[in-house]
């Protein structure tokens, strides 16, 4: 699976990129239809600590799934996005296996 990580207005460290890649590979291992993922990491310009945004577009055969979450850290936001995508992948899988 090909994972593309874009960080907007900052440089994501290797540890964060490895964390995201590992989470997405676990999800891809459960579904053969997943081709790749495009990840966008953004810093919101607010003064609140909940200013880290993770957006993931999951590329599937015939479809794309998308989720975006905002949290205090990119790791927490990534966990929330992967959970949302997990539900979408299950719905997609159930829709096309019947």
- What tens digit of pLDDT does each residue of 44-70 get? 887 788 899 999 999 988 789 999 999
Q: Tell me how far apart the alpha carbons of residues 13 and 16 are, in angstroms, rounded to a whole number.
A: 6
**Angle of CA points 53, 50, 75, to nearest 5°:** 55
- pLDDT (0 to 100) of residue 46: 74
- pLDDT (0 to 100) of residue 68: 97
| pLDDT tens digits, one per residue of 1-10 | 899 999 998 8
- Mean pLDDT value across the chain: 90
Domains of the chain: 2-82 (3.30.160.100)
pLDDT at 30 over 70: yes
Reported pTM? 0.90
pLDDT at 98 over 90: no
Instruction: Please name which of 6, 85, 70, 3 lies closest in space to residue 36, comparing C-alpha atoms.
Output: 3
């Amino acid at each position: 699976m090909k994972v593309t990580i874009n960080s907007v207005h900052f440089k994501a460290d290797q540890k964060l990129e490895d964390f995201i890649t590992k989470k997405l590979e676990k999800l891809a291992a459960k579904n053969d239809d997943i081709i790749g993922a495009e990840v966008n990491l953004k810093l919101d310009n607010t003064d609140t600590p909940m200013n880290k945004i993770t957006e993931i577009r999951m590329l599937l055969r015939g479809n794309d799934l998308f989720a975006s979450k905002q949290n205090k850290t990119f790791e927490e936001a990534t966990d929330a996005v992967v959970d949302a995508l997990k539900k979408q992948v299950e719905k997609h899988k159930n829709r096309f296996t019947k």
